[in-house]
Each structure stands twice: as structure tokens, then as C-alpha cells.
């Protein structure tokens, strides 16, 4: 049986700090050509009715990554996606209830994998573009800003983008994804040179036909293993 963690100790049995720990997840996806983050309306105090990152306290014997994956599943219906630890936030005053640490995670999910229901009003969740991030509860805006920085940085030297694409994709699709995440246009020839030199993707024999134009070759990532947070450097 699983128990939900209690509210932070207001009257702890001993006069020591047992800081409460929450996990918050920055869930990235791409929709309508924009990099978006999933935010939810809080149904409890503090900040009831305000937007925040999905998150919550840890279950019994739960580690933070498991908690992050559970939250991800609850909010999006998705499992088995790329996720890594971002950072731990413990700035004093970040939670009005007292010292509560947030161990933040980052997840990347293709838009079409997100269950429609997960974004319905009943779930009180929505996707907001990172360039128009509204005010968020706690220090969640800082967390998102930091997550965006790291996502953009990792894009340049890792295969992190595979998480947002189907197994087979065209180089145009890949480039568009990069442009959306980086927030700027890229030169088609230079992009292809760089991507192919990195050796992360490989051309398959398949082609993609849509519309009446020339078909595009489909590529795939050589490896779907993504470096985890501990390999980041």
C-alpha cells in the first residue's frame, strides 16, 4: 500500500529540520511550432487556482525519479519517455509553508503522445509556450527558465531530440524541431552538415511521401540511449 506524504511538519516530534521534499517536472513538448511546457492549475493551497508545474510529495520509499515518472504518468498518461534530473531548488521562502525542497526533473514528450484527456479541463492542465511563460506558483518560473537553458544546450551535443520525434523522421522535421526549441531559424545546408557530422542520425532506405513534392529520406537516431544527468559532462 502506498501512502501520500504528509504536509510539512508544523509540529515535528523533534526540533530538527527534516525538510520536506517534492518533485516537480518540467514537461516539454512541441505544438503549433512552439516549445511548450505543461502547467496545471493547483487544486490545493498554497496557490490554489494558480498555475504551477506538475509535482508533489514523495510516496513512501519512493525516489525522486520514480516520483517524477509517477507524476508524469498521472498528468499525461505517458511512461517510458526521456527524463533527467535538472536541479534541486531550496531557496528560502520558495514555499510559503516552510522549507520544502523541490527536486526538479525535465521530460520530453511528443505532442501526439500526450493523452487528449490529460489536457482537458478536468485535469486543469494546459500547454504554454516557453516564450510567453505566465506567472507560476512558487519559483516554478525559475525552474522552467533553467530547464529551457539546459535543453537548448544539450541539443547541440546530444541526441536528446529523439524524444520528441517518431522513430523515423526527415531531416526537415529534425531541423524544424531544432528551430522550435532554439527559437531561431537555421540554415538548411549548415544544419544538415552539422547533424550528419555529429553522427547521431543515420539515413535509412525509407522515404516519406506526402503532398506532390519530392519525397524525403527518412532518418533515425543511431542510438536511442540518451546520456543521463550523471553523464552530462
Partner DNA sequence: TGAATAGTGTCTTTCAGACAATATGCC
Partner DNA sequence: GGCATATTGTCTGAAAGACACTATTCA
Interface contacts to DNA, rule CB under 7 A: 170-172, 187-190, 192-194, 197, 209, 211-217
Residue 88 binds which of its own copies, DNA, none (CB < 5-8 A, kind-dependent): its own copies
Closest to its own copies by CB, 209 vs 233, is 233
158: Cβ–Cβ under 8 A, 6 or more apart, which residues? 200, 226, 227
**x/- map, 106-145, its own copies, by CB under 8 A:** ------------------------------------x---
Between 47 and 146, CB nearer to its own copies: 146
User: According to CB under 8 A, which residues from 42 to 81 bind its own copies?
Assistant: 57-65
CA distance 20 to 7: 8
Compute the least distance from the CB of residue 178 to DNA, in Å: 11
C-alpha distances out from residue 232 to 42, 83, 84, 144, 228, Å: 33, 13, 10, 19, 6
Question: Facing residues of 216 across strands?
Answer: 208
The answer to whether 64 and 101 are in contact (CB under 8 A) is: no
Q: Quote the CA–CA distance of 111 and 101 in Å, as a whole number.
A: 30
The Cα angle at residue 137 between residues 26 and 182, in degrees rounded to 5: 35
Residue 97 CB contacts under 8 Å (≥ 6 apart), including other chains: 7, 8, 46
Between 98 and 110, CB nearer to its own copies: 98
Nearer Cβ to its own copies, position 67 or 114?
67
**3-class secondary-structure state, position 188:** helix
Instruction: Report what 168 binds from DNA, its own copies, none; CB cut-off 5-8 Å by kind.
Output: none
28, containing H or E segment:
strand 20-31
- CB under 8 A: which stretch of 6-14, 159-167, 190-198, 214-222 binds its own copies? 6-14
Work out what residue 20 binds among its own copies, DNA, none; the CB cut-off runs from 5 to 8 Å by kind: its own copies
Q: Judged by CB under 8 A, does residue 6 bind its own copies?
A: yes
Q: Judged by CB, which is closer to DNA: 92, or 211?
A: 211
Q: How many CA atoms lie within 13 A of 82 on its CB side?
A: 21
Contact residues toward its own copies (CB under 8 A) are 3-6, 9, 13-21, 57-65, 85, 87-88, 90-92, 99, 101, 103, 142, 146, 149-150, 152-153, 229-233
Amino acid at each position: 500500500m502506498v501512502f501520500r506524504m504528509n504536509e510539512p511538519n508544523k509540529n515535528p516530534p523533534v526540533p530538527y529540520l527534516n525538510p520536506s521534499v517534492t518533485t516537480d517536472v518540467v514537461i516539454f513538448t512541441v505544438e503549433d511550432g512552439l516549445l511548450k511546457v505543461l502547467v496545471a492549475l493547483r487544486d490545493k493551497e498554497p496557490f490554489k487556482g494558480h498555475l504551477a508545474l506538475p509535482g508533489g510529495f514523495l510516496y513512501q520509499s519512493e525516489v525522486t525519479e520514480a516520483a517524477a515518472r509517477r507524476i508524469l504518468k498521472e498528468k499525461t498518461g505517458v511512461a517510458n519517455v526521456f527524463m533527467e534530473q535538472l536541479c534541486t531548488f531550496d531557496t528560502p521562502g520558495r514555499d510559503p509553508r516552510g522549507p520544502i525542497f523541490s527536486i526538479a526533473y525535465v521530460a520530453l514528450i511528443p505532442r501526439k503522445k500526450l493523452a487528449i484527456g490529460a489536457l482537458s479541463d478536468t485535469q486543469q492542465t494546459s500547454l504554454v509556450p516557453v516564450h510567453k511563460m505566465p506567472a507560476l506558483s512558487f519559483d516554478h518560473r525559475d525552474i522552467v527558465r533553467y530547464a529551457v537553458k539546459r535543453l537548448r544546450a544539450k541539443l547541440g551535443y546530444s541526441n536528446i531530440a529523439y524524444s520528441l520525434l517518431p522513430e523515423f523522421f526527415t531531416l526537415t522535421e529534425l531541423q524544424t524541431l531544432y528551430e522550435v526549441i532554439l527559437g531561431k531559424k537555421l540554415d538548411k545546408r549548415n544544419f544538415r552538415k552539422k547533424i550528419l557530422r555529429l553522427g547521431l542520425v543515420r539515413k535509412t532506405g525509407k522515404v516519406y511521401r506526402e503532398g506532390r513534392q519530392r519525397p524525403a529520406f527518412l532518418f533515425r537516431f543511431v542510438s536511442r540511449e540518451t546520456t543521463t544527468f550523471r553523464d552530462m559532462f
